Amino acid sequence: MKTRDVSLGAVMCAVIVIMLLIASYLNTMRLSALFLSSLLMCIIVSFSGVKTMLICYGASAILVWLFVPDKSVCTAYTVFFGNYGAVKFGIEKLKNLKKEWVVKIICACVYGIILYFLMYLITGTAILKINFALYLSAVIFAFVIGDIALSLLIGSFVSKIPFRK
């Protein structure tokens, strides 16, 4: 691993931990901070590859659990937002738009189910007092919108940077 990759991973790890720490105190910023953490992971994949991103994800997940007081933010980052950069990169290697979206929607369902039950175990109550099917539909809808936004941001910003990998 190159020095550039290690330093990029360390900086992104620090930014993610600080961002999620602030988001745990500002309720209105939680989803935005989690989404930006996915964007930062995608940037690491673009610049340094999946190996560096996975190391950064592991380090930031440990640090988030140590320093962020709101464990719902920690759970959401660890289960979904932190590792989605590598998952997205792997899915988009299929180069077939229909297959990619089927796998992404299955992935969203799996993430939603895991997140729901982990939040139930952590808090002791259901995170939402709504029908589970409605919850899963909302997760899929938000996931599709978020994935499209993430792809647009990656395509418009990251691909124009001249020194990426």
pLDDT, tens digit, 9 for 90 and up, residues 65-102: 999 998 888 888 998 888 888 888 889 888 898 999 99
- Asked, for residue 75, whether it belongs to a domain, the answer is yes
Number of domains in the chain: 1
Query: Secondary structure of 122-150 in the HEC alphabet?
Result: HHCCCCCCCCHHHHHHHHHHHHHHHHHHH
> Residue 31 CB: number of other CB atoms within 10 A?
15
| Residue with the two structure tokens 């932190």 | 82
pLDDT in the model for residue 99: 93
Say what the pTM is: 0.82
Q: Is residue 108 part of a domain?
A: yes
Question: Does 165 fall in a domain?
Answer: no
Dihedral of CA atoms 139, 144, 146, 152 in degrees, nearest 10, equals 180
Domain that holds residue 7: 3-160
Residue 89 lies in a domain: yes
